[in-house]
A and B are shown apart, each in its own frame.
Chain A
Amino acid sequence: GAGVSQSPSNKVTEKGKDVELRCDPISGHTALYWYRQSLGQGLEFLIYFQGNSAPDKSGLPSDRFSAERTGGSVSTLTIQRTQQEDSAVYLCASSLSLNYEQYFGPGTRLTVT
């Protein structure tokens, strides 16, 4: 069946602009996660949703980052006033519920110039 999809696959933006990254989880998966992967840094947890609710937003790097999920499905990660240090691959994962098998999308490669 269809896996987790993310769009766009690549995004180049100028410093100071806002960007929106989209994640379509596997159908029926109630839990959704956002991560950031920088070269040599591993995966950095950003936020997770159970349904439309995000119980813990402490992983978001700054108040320029926000995320929402609507209809228990699609999620959007928004970065306002992008900075060069925001350049990374943003990965989304989903799981059937709050179990442990997270399935990842291909990621969005964000470059801030």
Chain B
Amino acid sequence: QKEVEQDPGPLSVPEGAIVSLNCTYSNSAFQYFMWYRQYSRKGPELLMYTYSSGNKEDGRFTAQVDKSSKYISLFIRDSQPSDSATYLCAMSAVPGNQFYFGTGTSLTVIP
């Protein structure tokens, strides 16, 4: 079983839709959770990071962590064509130590 599972998609939504991206994990020791956006042939760009459980909001993006279910989500409100990218979740048990990444979900927002 992989440490982190992420549905690769592809996911295609109309402009303005709410997008939900999800990851599940198996290691209950994970405490640090991150979401990255990666455009084609570019390095990943950090979008959100959270510690332990709860929600965090930044503009159109909301990250949720449910440690009891070992499940994290990223919501994108009012999605835009510029949000079209691959979204990667990542998590770690110890700060600065090995980060475990999901395989990424490919998102296309159709104008």
Contacts and interface: CB of A to CB of B under 8 A. Distances in A.
A104 B43 contact: yes
Interface size classification for chain B? 20 to 34
Contacts of A56: 97-98
Contact of A45 (B34, B51, B98): B98
A60 to B, nearest CB: 12
Contacts of A31: 96
A75 interface: no
A4 B49 contact: no
Nearest to A105: B43
Interface stretch (A14-22, A61-69, A94-102): A94-102
A104 B34 CA distance: 13
Interface in B30-49: 32, 34, 36, 41-46, 49
A92 B38 CA distance: 14
B96 A42 contact: no
Contacts of B73: none
A62 B92 CA distance: 23
A99 to B, nearest CB: 6
Interface string B3-14: 010101000000
A99 B102 contact: no
A56 B99 CA distance: 12
Interface of B: 4, 6, 8, 32, 34, 36, 41-46, 49, 51, 88, 90, 92, 95-104
* 4 closest residue pairs by CB, A with B: A98-B96, A104-B43, A42-B103, A43-B101
Given A93-B44, A104-B44, 20 more contacts: A42-B88, A42-B101, A42-B104, A43-B44, A43-B88, A43-B90, A43-B101, A45-B100, A48-B96, A48-B98, A56-B97, A91-B43, A95-B96, A100-B51, A101-B46, A101-B49, A105-B43, A106-B41, A107-B41, A109-B41
